[in-house]
């Protein structure tokens, strides 16, 4: 039965791609269908795409008044925002009021997210098929058991696009497609802020290539000559020139250079998580949790890595490449949770390549005969029962992880922030304030919702606290002391009005109860609006 099905896929290869895409799309529609949002940045990306659709490219960003975005704004996801526009342009139900239309646009963004996420699995399947990996479909299906992978791909953000580019990059690097690698590097800069990763990938491939040559020719070769061989130099120059072109031939040039220094070095590498509160995705994974959520893949990856080590001299450049790459991204994921999606494809590819090697060394006929002998004689019943138990265990293992990944994520989207969070309060501000008046919000991470529902006003900070910390450290400290309840009620009014020039204070009732209690004790502030989610005070 299985062989017949595989013959059908071999006869009509497009069926495999269609099946992977359809399965991925259906799974992500199921995950995303509840009326909730997990990552608040989803509001920001949807709004940016809508604004580009209406106004063209956004060149300035006054909505976070006290951040580096005010003078050094680069939309480092503008390629992704353009890719969202076709989904946001889909027809909406007739006679929708403006509030319902805002929600409808977020639903369309979810649809686009499901589409891009499904394409990631198609790319994984495509890569395995290009290298003639046996069981490419099964290896691809394995990734549906990995909760953090599905979580990251379900966000209305650009990780899916970044992964599609990187997987294509793996192929172009291995196959030495220099011109296409140049174009891909160029496109990456326009699409996602993680574009330096393609250079990291090229460097790691060059290292793998050098190590392989060193093993073959040791000790009659110079180490530097190995690394800077003709192939490596061409790959490095191709990638660097493509990235440089993307930075220079860019609507935001020359701000791209200082901005990406800030984004890549200060936020991604140095990271101020020990000084300020940054997003949860920038903190390390709990090692035990990391093992649990990645266990279906880690089992194969650990076996593959062990096999690789025991036969290290027989390995080719490709397996060296994916070994080094998977180890690098595993360590990178441990540094910051947001990088976990980059570990999974190289770890999967290494496992697939190594298990393909292992099949050559295994005498399947002897194994089959030995297994048959186990079921003969009086002891056969024991092995028969053990086989049933093992099959049931594997079934429960798969069901557990399917539930742990797909069903659990569906539930999270039900229980997390509602898709219309702060919509009513934002509309009140839009209808009752002057354009450009500054709103002092109680937390930086509620900015995306406020921005999505109300671009009429400006806000204090948002997207990442590093932007405000680097803008003015003293001002950041003053803001942090106020919202965390460290400033006395008597001093709050003067600080907010003088240092921040704000007209209103916006409080998230559920998240910022300490600040809410502080303002309640301060008689100078006049409450002008309240609902189940927010309180708004007028600053006299």
The answer, yes or no, to whether residue 410 has pLDDT greater than 80, is yes
Cα–Cα distances in angstroms (integers) from residue 6 to residues 10, 18, 140, 147, 285, in the given order: 6, 14, 15, 28, 39
Pull the structure tokens for residue 59: 């060149």
Rounded mean pLDDT, 506-535: 85
Question: Among 180-189, 294-303, 336-345, 368-377, which stretch is predicted with the lowest mean pLDDT?
Answer: 368-377
| Range in 57-66, 160-169, 262-271, 329-338 the model is least confident about | 262-271
pLDDT for res 1: 39
Could you read off the pLDDT of 362-407 as tens digits, one per residue?
665 666 666 665 556 666 665 556 667 667 767 776 777 777 788 8
Q: Taking all residues of the chain, what is their mean pLDDT, rounded to a whole number?
A: 86
Judge residue 277's burial from the number of C-beta atoms within 10 Å of its C-beta, 0-12 exposed, 13-18 middle, 19 or more buried.
middle
The predicted-structure confidence for 79-127, as pLDDT tens digits, reads as follows 999 999 999 999 988 888 889 999 999 999 999 999 999 999 999 999 9
Q: What is the pLDDT of residue 448?
A: 94
Residues 221-252 have pLDDT tens digits of 666 667 778 888 999 999 999 999 999 999 99
Nearest C-alpha neighbor of 257 from the set 249, 248, 268, 266: 248
Q: At what angle do helices 317-335 and 340-361 cross, to 10 degrees?
A: 150
Bin 155: left if φ > 0, else alpha if -120 < ψ < 50, else beta: beta
Q: In the block, which residue shows the tokens 């589409």?
A: 115
Rounded to an integer, what distance in angstroms lies between the CA atom of residue 203 and that of residue 180?
17
**Is the peptide bond prior to 254 cis by the omega test (within 30 degrees of 0)?**
yes
Angstrom distance (rounded) from CA 112 to CA 80: 11
Return the minimum-mean-pLDDT range out of 59-63, 198-202, 211-215, 428-432. Answer: 211-215
What does the pLDDT read at residue 2? 46
- pTM across the whole model: 0.89
**Predicted confidence band at 77 (pLDDT cuts at 50, 70, 90)?**
very high
What is 183-243 written as a DSSP string?
Answer: HHHHHHHHH-TTTHHHHHHHHHHHHHHHHHHHHHHTTSS-HHHHHT-HHHHHHHHHHHHHH
Cα dist from 503 to 369, 427, 500, 512, whole Å: 82, 16, 9, 19
Distance of CA 189 to the CA centre of its chain: 16
User: What are the backbone angles phi and psi of residue 501, rounded to the nearest 5°?
Assistant: 55, 35
The pLDDT assigned to 367 comes to 61
The residue with greater pLDDT, 496 or 22, is 22
Quickly tell me which residue has 């699995």 as its tokens. Answer: 121
Range in 269-283, 473-487, 505-519 with the lowest mean pLDDT: 269-283
Residue 427's SS3 state is helix
For the chain, which residues make up each domain, given as ranges? 2-32+74-357, 363-415, 423-538
Token code pair at residue 520: 């309640």
């Amino acid at each position: 039965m299985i062989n017949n099905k595989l013959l059908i896929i071999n006869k009509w290869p497009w069926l495999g791609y269609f099946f992977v895409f359809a399965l991925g799309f259906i799974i992500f529609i199921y995950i995303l269908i509840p009326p909730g949002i997990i990552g608040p940045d989803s509001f920001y990306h949807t709004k940016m795409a809508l604004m580009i659709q209406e106004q063209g490219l956004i060149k300035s960003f006054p909505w976070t008044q006290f951040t580096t975005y005010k003078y050094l704004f680069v939309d480092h996801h503008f390629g992704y925002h353009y890719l969202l526009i076709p989904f946001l342009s889909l027809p909406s139900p007739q006679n929708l009021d403006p509030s319902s239309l805002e929600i409808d646009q977020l639903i369309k963004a979810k649809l686009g997210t499901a589409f891009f996420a499904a394409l990631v699995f198609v790319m994984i399947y495509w890569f395995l098929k290009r290298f003639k990996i046996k069981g490419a479909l099964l290896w691809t299906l394995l990734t549906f058991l990995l909760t953090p992978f599905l979580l990251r791909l379900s966000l209305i953000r650009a990780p899916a696009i970044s992964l599609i580019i990187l997987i294509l990059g793996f192929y172009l690097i291995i196959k030495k497609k220099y011109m296409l690698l140049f174009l891909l590097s160029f496109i990456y800069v326009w699409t996602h802020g993680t574009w330096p990763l393609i250079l990291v990938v090229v460097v790691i491939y060059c290292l793998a290539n050098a190590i392989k040559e060193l093993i073959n020719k040791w000790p009659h070769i110079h180490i530097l000559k190995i690394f800077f061989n003709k192939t490596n130099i061409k790959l490095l120059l191709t990638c660097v020139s493509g990235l440089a072109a993307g930075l220079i031939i860019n609507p935001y040039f020359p701000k791209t250079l200082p901005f990406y220094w800030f984004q890549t070095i200060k936020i991604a590498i140095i990271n101020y998580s020990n000084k300020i509160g940054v997003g949860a995705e920038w903190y390390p994974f709990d090692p035990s949790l990391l093992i649990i959520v990645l266990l279906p893949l880690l089992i194969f990856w650990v076996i593959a890595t062990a096999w690789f080590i025991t036969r290290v001299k027989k390995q080719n450049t490709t397996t060296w490449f994916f070994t080094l790459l998977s180890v690098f991204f595993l360590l990178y994921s441990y540094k910051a949770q947001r990088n976990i999606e980059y570990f999974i494809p190289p770890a999967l590819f290494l496992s697939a390549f190594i298990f393909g090697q292992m099949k050559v060394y295994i005498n399947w006929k002897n194994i089959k005969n030995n297994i048959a002998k186990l079921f003969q004689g009086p002891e056969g019943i024991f092995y028969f029962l053990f086989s049933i138990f093992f099959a049931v265990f594997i079934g429960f293992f798969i069901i557990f992880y399917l539930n742990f990944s797909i069903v659990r994520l569906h539930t999270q989207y039900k229980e997390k922030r509602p898709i219309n969070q702060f919509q009513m309060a934002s509309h009140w501000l839009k209808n009752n304030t002057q354009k450009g008046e500054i709103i002092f919000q109680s937390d930086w991470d509620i900015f995306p919702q406020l921005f999505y529902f109300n671009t009429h006003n400006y806000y204090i900070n948002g997207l990442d606290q590093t932007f405000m910390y680097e803008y003015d450290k003293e001002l950041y400290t003053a803001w942090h002391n106020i919202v965390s309840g460290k400033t006395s009620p008597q001093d709050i009014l003067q600080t907010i009005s003088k240092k921040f020039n704000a007209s209103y204070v916006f409080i998230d009732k559920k998240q910022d109860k300490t600040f809410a209690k502080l303002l309640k004790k301060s008689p100078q502030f006049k409450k002008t609006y309240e609902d189940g989610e927010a309180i708004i005070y007028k600053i006299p």
